Amino acid sequence: MSKGVLTDITKCIGCGSCVVACKMWNHLEYDHKQPASGPAAKLNDKNWTVVNTCEVQDTRSEPVWRFAKRQCMHCEEPACASACFSRALQKNADGPVVYYPELCVGCRYCMIACPFDIPKYEWSKAAPQIAKCQLCSSRLAKGEAPACVVVCPTGVMQFGTRSELLQRARNIIQSDPQYIPSIYGQDEVGGTCWLYISDVPFAQLGFRTNLGTVPLPWYTHRFLKNTPFIALGWGALLTAMSFYIRRRKEMAENKQETEKELGDKHED
Ligand code: SF4
Ligand code: SF4
Ligand code: SF4
C-alpha cells in the first residue's frame, strides 16, 4: 500500500530543519551559491528539498507570508519512471519513486518528463547522476518516517498510508474553515504520495495548478514507443564519433612519428 506525507502549509514556520535533516540523512553538500530556503530557494543536485518563502496577496488584509516545503511528489504513476528506458527510476510498492544510479545512462529523459520539474543533474561532476528526493525509501522499508518529517518542530508533516492521509486531510478541511477546499496531490497527474493542504490558493505558493488529472505516463508511453530506436540511434552516433575521434588521433600520432623519423634522417 502506498505511503506518503501530508504537509500542512498553515503550520510551517520556515525554520529549515527539514532541509538540514535531508542533507544529513542523504550526505548532501551545502550549496553556498544556491540557498535551500527563502524566496530564492531552488531544488538542485545538492538541494533535494527546499522551503520557499512566499508573499501571498490577501484581498482582506496586508500580504501574508507562507512557507512551502518542496521536493519530489512521488507520483502514483510517475512520468519520470515511464520515460526512463533503462529503469533507473522505479516506483516502489510502498510509495517512493527511487533512483538507481548504477542503471542510469545519463539520457535525462526523466528531467523532461517530470511535470513538477524535480529531477536535477550533477552538471559539475565528471560522472554525473540524477538527483532527487527518494522519500527516504530505506527508512520507509524499516517502518520509519522520512528524516525531514521526524525533525519538523511544528508537526507540519504527517506520515502514513496515502488513503489514511487523504481522509485526514478531508477531515481537517471540513472541520476548519481557514483551509481552502482542495488537497494538492489528490488528483494531480493521477495522484501523488506527497499531499498538501493550505489556507491560501496553491497557485499563490508557486504550485503548478494546471497539470490535469490524467497520469502522464499515458502520454509518455506513446513517446516511449520510439525511445529504444532513439537510444539505439544515439548509441550508434556516439560509437561512430568515438571511432572517428580515435582514428583521427591515431593518424595524427602516426604523422608526428613519420615527421620525427624524417627529421632524424635529415639531421644524420
Ligand atoms: S514528481 Fe517528477 S520526479 Fe517525482 S515521481 Fe513525479 S514525475 Fe518522478
Ligand atoms: S523524504 Fe527524505 S529524501 Fe525526501 S526530502 Fe525528506 S529527508 Fe529528503
Ligand atoms: S522543519 Fe517544519 S516548520 Fe521547519 S521549515 Fe521544515 S516544514 Fe517548515
| Ligand 3 residue neighbourhood (C-beta within 6 Å) | 12-18, 51, 67, 69, 152, 154, 156
Helix, strand or coil, per DSSP, at residue 215: coil
Quickly state the pLDDT bin for 92 (edges 50, 70, 90).
very high
Question: What confidence tens digit (pLDDT) does each residue in 205-227 have?
Answer: 999 999 999 887 766 655 555 55
Interval 140-178: pLDDT, tens: 999 999 999 999 999 999 999 999 999 999 999 999 999
pLDDT at 251 over 70: no
Q: Which of 166, 162, 214 is nearest to 190 (CA)?
A: 214
Closest ligand 3 atom number to CA of residue 11? 3
The three three-digit cell numbers of residue 97, written as one number: 519513486
Is the pLDDT score of 255 beyond 50?
A: yes
- The set of protein residues with a Cβ atom below 6 angstroms from ligand 1 is 72-75, 78-80, 97, 114, 116, 118-119, 132
pLDDT band per the 50, 70, 90 thresholds, residue 254: low
C-alpha 107/C-alpha 124 separation (Å) is: 16
Point out the ligand 1 atom lying closest to the alpha carbon of residue 81: 8
241 vs 141: which has the higher pLDDT: 141
Please report the atom of ligand 3 found closest to the CA of residue 13: 3
Q: How far apart are CA 231 and CA 239, in angstroms?
A: 12
Q: Rounded to an integer, what distance in angstroms lies between the CA atom of residue 238 and that of residue 144?
A: 44
% of the chain residues with pLDDT over 70: 80
pLDDT at 246 over 50: no
119 lines ligand 2 (CB under 6 A): no
Average confidence (pLDDT) over 46-50:
98
Q: How confident is the model at residue 267 (pLDDT cuts 50, 70, 90)?
A: low
Q: Which ligand is nearest to the CA of 73?
A: 1
pLDDT of residue 249: 43
Residue that has been written with the C-alpha cell 488537497 in this structure = 183
| pLDDT score at 237 | 42
The Cα 123–Cα 107 span in angstroms is: 13
> pLDDT value at position 15?
97
- The Cα angle at residue 145 between residues 144 and 147, in degrees rounded to 5: 110
Q: What is the pLDDT of residue 247?
A: 46
Q: In this structure, what is the dihedral angle of CA atoms 82, 83, 86, 90, given to the nearest 10 degrees?
A: -40
Return the residue whose CA atom lies nearest to atom 6 of ligand 3.
18
Give the ligand at the shortest distance from the Cα of 21: 2
Q: Phi/psi of residue 91, each to 5°? A: -90, 120
Would you place residue 84 in the very low, low, confident or very high pLDDT band (cuts 50, 70, 90)? Answer: very high
Q: How far is the CA of 133 from the centre of ligand 2 (A)?
A: 5
Considering only residues 70 and 229, tell me which one the structure prediction assigns the higher pLDDT: 70
Between the CA of 36 and the centroid of ligand 3 the distance, in Å, is 12
Please tell me the predicted confidence (pLDDT) of residue 216.
Answer: 76
Q: Tell me the CA–centroid distance for residue 148 and ligand 3, in Å.
A: 8
The upper half-sphere exposure of residue 116, i.e. CA atoms within 13 Å in the direction of its Cβ, equals 25
Q: For 77-90, what is the mean pLDDT?
A: 96
This prediction has a pTM of 0.83
The predicted structure's pLDDT at residue 57: 83
Provide the 10 A C-beta neighbour count for residue 189.
24
Per-residue cell: 222: 506513446
Atom of ligand 1 minimally distant from the CA of 79 = 7
